[in-house]
């Protein structure tokens, strides 16, 4: 690509600095500019390999205003590399707007493959990998998260989520409640790093483990969940109807009364229904519901 403008999308280590290809190092050392999600974070990797290429901060909050200028510079012949803090760029990381704009202009984009927390976790999960569905980060608010999980409850493909340490326990609780406590799952933590761990269990056991080991609720986390079995897929209409019923009751009645009615009609445990009802009510207030 000598003499031609190009954007290299370069995968970098997700933890262990040795997990980088010779090709990636050659590219990073030879481009005109590196676009880094966090220049301070990337400085450790670049310094380790003696790479002195200039870096510019490029993240979710400043990507949009920079795109046009970067595209013009590449169109004029500059060679740039896009990296994220860890792993393959654009996988729940910045870069989509830039790559999309480059495509619209017919400019050259070259992938430099390498580490990915998503694929790394899948490779050791022991769950089906012939077909899988990557959902990234679930909504931070409980009500929105439960709604999203309800939509995924009958998904037959293996599901992969990223999650933050502060929400891991609540997310596992919500997964257990929505998908069923016995659904198989694996939580991969700090992959390729010194304190790497891969906890394989069902959702209920995984939740209990993290509740009992609060010191492990830190670092980078990937949740891999088995897809729904045919019986679970067939029951999806029933599960969705229960959710709609509870939501309608919460909109019309006080939470405790709504839970009491829902428990009589569905036969579900009051505790599980109450937690879901509280989340629905809180989410409704956050969206402007005055009740």
- Stretches where the chain sits below pLDDT 70 are 1-3, 231-241, 267, 284-291
Tokens matching residue 112: 């430099």
Tokens matching residue 291: 């009740």
Does residue 291 belong to any structural domain of this protein?
A: no
Q: Give pLDDT, residue 269.
A: 77
Q: What are phi and psi of 13, to 5 degrees?
A: -55, 145
Q: Give pLDDT, residue 78.
A: 97
Q: Give pLDDT, residue 162.
A: 96
User: Distance of alpha carbon 82 from its chain centroid, rounded?
Assistant: 20
Quote the CA–CA distance of 127 and 271 in Å, as a whole number. Answer: 31
Q: Give pLDDT, residue 290.
A: 35
Asked whether 46 and 118 are in contact (CB, 8 A), the reply is no
Domain residues for the domain of 87 are 6-115
> How many domains does the chain contain in total?
3
Tokens matching residue 237: 């209409």
Asked whether 86 and 12 are in contact (CB, 8 A), the reply is yes
Q: Give pLDDT, residue 288.
A: 42
* pLDDT tens-place string over residues 134-174: 999 999 998 899 999 999 999 999 999 999 999 999 999 99
110: left (phi over 0), alpha (psi -120 to 50) or beta: beta
Q: Helix, strand, coil proportions of the chain in percent (round to 5)?
A: 50, 20, 35
Q: Are residues 163 and 245 in the same domain?
A: no
Q: Are residues 184 and 271 in the same domain?
A: no
Q: Are residues 161 and 205 in the same domain?
A: yes
Q: Give pLDDT, residue 149.
A: 94
């Amino acid at each position: 690509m000598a003499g031609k403008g190009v954007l290299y999308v370069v995968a970098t280590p997700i933890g262990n600095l040795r997990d980088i290809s010779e090709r990636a190092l050659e590219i990073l050392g030879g481009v005109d500019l590196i676009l880094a999600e966090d220049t301070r974070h990337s400085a450790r990797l670049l310094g380790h390999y003696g790479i002195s290429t200039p870096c510019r901060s490029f993240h979710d909050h400043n990507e949009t205003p920079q795109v046009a200028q970067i595209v013009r510079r590449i169109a004029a012949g500059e060679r740039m590399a896009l990296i994220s803090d860890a792993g393959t760029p654009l996988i729940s990381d910045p870069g989509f707007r830039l790559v999309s704009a480059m495509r619209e202009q017919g400019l050259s984009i070259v992938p430099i493959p390498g580490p990915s927390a998503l694929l790394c976790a899948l490779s050791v999960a022991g769950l089906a990998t012939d077909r899988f569905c990557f959902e990234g980060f679930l909504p931070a608010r409980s009500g929105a998260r439960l709604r999203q999980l309800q939509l995924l409850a009958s998904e037959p493909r293996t599901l992969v989520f990223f999650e933050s340490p502060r929400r891991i326990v609540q997310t596992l609780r919500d997964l257990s409640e929505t998908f069923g406590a016995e659904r198989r799952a694996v939580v991969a933590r700090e992959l390729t790093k010194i304190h790497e761990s891969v906890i394989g269990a069902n959702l209920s056991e995984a939740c209990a483990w993290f509740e009992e080991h609060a010191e492990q609720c830190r670092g980078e986390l990937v949740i891999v969940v088995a897809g729904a079995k045919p019986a679970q897929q067939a029951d999806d209409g029933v599960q969705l109807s229960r959710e709609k019923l509870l939501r309608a009751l919460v909109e019309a009645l006080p939470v405790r009364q709504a839970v009491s009615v829902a428990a009589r009609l569905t036969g579900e445990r009051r505790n599980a229904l109450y937690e879901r009802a509280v989340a629905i009510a809180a989410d409704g207030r956050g969206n402007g519901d005055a009740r």
